[in-house]
Amino acid sequence: MRVEESSHMQNSARGSFFSFIKTAVNAWRSFLLVLW
């Protein structure tokens, strides 16, 4: 495997991870808003 491919895979994995965290934070915020 070439270095560019591995780095691209790392970047895509990191992007999906951050998008997942963003979605979780949004869901948690809406949950807290419903509680309050």
The answer to whether residue 18 is domain-embedded is: yes
Q: What's the domain count of the chain? A: 1
The answer to whether residue 7 is domain-embedded is: no
The answer to whether residue 5 is domain-embedded is: no
Per-residue confidence (pLDDT) for residue 8, from 0 to 100: 74
Helical spans, DSSP H, in 1-36? 3-35
The answer to whether residue 26 is domain-embedded is: yes
* Residue of 33 and 36 predicted with greater confidence: 33
Domain that holds residue 27: 12-36
- The reply to whether the predicted model has a pTM over 0.95 is no
Per-residue confidence (pLDDT) for residue 1, from 0 to 100: 53
Q: pLDDT (tens digit, 9 = 90+) per residue, 4-33?
A: 777 777 888 888 999 999 999 999 999 999
Question: CA gyration radius for the chain?
Answer: 16
Tokens 């491919």 -> residue: 5
